């Protein structure tokens, strides 16, 4: 049950941090994104990769690359919202369907291996909180109605649990569990490394960001 509730709670927390605590400083967001990128990458390397490639098939590498390419394709529509970039015109009033659909595909897919890899939920939670903060911040800066903002965030919050639910209910997918996980590994590798490179300044990490990244890696290792 927790792997259903925690991703939803992560989006709620992101929304609350902006709405209640006014967490909008760019420096704080860079550090939070750096932590989430390092944590997600470490979870992928420490848990997902060994589990999938312990029963190696040649096709797994193809699925990892497919995940990377799929994420690049999705970002053509989301404009990089998965790793901290949201490009919404301040005068926008309509519902951002392309952004929603691209983020939803990403979120549903990341939910598929979640009930087989119990540590993955923490990587998803740490990843979703800063993304929810960034989405909420940009939505408030636009002219979207509060109803549209809440609708977007509520639906987005349920997409990862939906992926996990479908994975459990569609039993024919069980035979392709490693392939689906390999696809998600590719998605995570692209997102996490992009976050880490983009959170650098002049391709050099300052001391604070370096400590944040090391901390995230250590925490992920001991979970």
The pLDDT tens digits for 180-215 are 999 999 999 999 998 888 766 555 568 888 899 999
Least confident of 9-18, 73-82, 118-127: 73-82
pTM score: 0.89
- Residue 88 scores a pLDDT above 80: no
Gyration radius from the chain CA atoms: 17
Segment 84-102 shows an average pLDDT of 75
Burial class from Cβ neighbours inside 10 Å (0-12, 13-18, 19+) for residue 198 reads middle
- Residue 67 scores a pLDDT above 90: yes
CA distances from 148 to 20, 57, 166, 171, 202 (A): 19, 45, 26, 35, 37
Q: What does residue 21 show for φ and ψ, rounded to 5 degrees?
A: -95, -5
How many Å apart are CA 160 and CA 158, to the nearest integer?
6
Residue ranges making up the domain that contains 105: 2-20+30-222
pLDDT in tens, 141-150: 887 888 888 9
Is residue 76 a part of any domain in this protein? yes
Residues paired with 204 in a beta bridge? 201
User: b or e along 22-32 (b: 16 or more beta carbons within 10 Å of the residue's beta carbon)?
Assistant: ebeeeeebbbb
pLDDT value for 158: 95
Is residue 25 a part of any domain in this protein? no
Is residue 148 a part of any domain in this protein? yes
Q: Considering its fold, how many domains does the chain have in total?
A: 1
Token pair 């009033």 is at which residue? 93
How confident is residue 87, by pLDDT bands cut at 50, 70 and 90?
low
Least confident of 13-22, 98-107, 168-177, 200-209: 200-209
Most confident of 15-19, 76-80, 95-99, 100-104: 100-104
Is residue 113 a part of any domain in this protein? yes
Asked if 67 and 189 count as a contact pair (C-beta separation under 8 A), the reply is yes
């Amino acid at each position: 049950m927790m792997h259903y509730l925690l991703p939803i709670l992560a989006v709620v927390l992101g929304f609350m941090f902006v709405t209640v605590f006014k967490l909008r400083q760019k420096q704080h967001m860079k550090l939070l994104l750096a932590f989430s990128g390092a944590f997600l990458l470490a979870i992928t390397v420490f848990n997902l990769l060994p589990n999938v490639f312990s029963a190696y098939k040649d096709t797994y590498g193809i699925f990892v690359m497919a995940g990377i390419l799929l994420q690049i394709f999705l970002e053509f529509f989301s404009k990089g919202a998965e790793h901290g970039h949201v490009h919404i015109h301040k005068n926008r009033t309509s519902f951002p369907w392309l952004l929603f659909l691209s983020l939803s595909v990403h979120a549903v897919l990341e939910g598929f291996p979640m009930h087989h890899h119990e540590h993955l939920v923490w990587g998803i939670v740490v990843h979703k909180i800063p993304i929810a903060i960034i989405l909420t911040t940009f939505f408030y800066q636009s002219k979207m109605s509060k109803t549209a903002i809440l609708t977007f965030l509520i639906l987005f919050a349920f997409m990862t649990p939906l992926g996990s639910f479908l994975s459990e209910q569609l039993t024919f997918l069980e035979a392709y569990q490693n392939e689906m996980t390999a696809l998600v590994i590719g998605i995570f590798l692209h997102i996490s490394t992009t976050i880490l490179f983009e959170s650098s300044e002049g391709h050099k990490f300052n001391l604070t960001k370096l400590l944040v990244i090391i901390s995230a890696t250590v925490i992920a290792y001991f979970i």
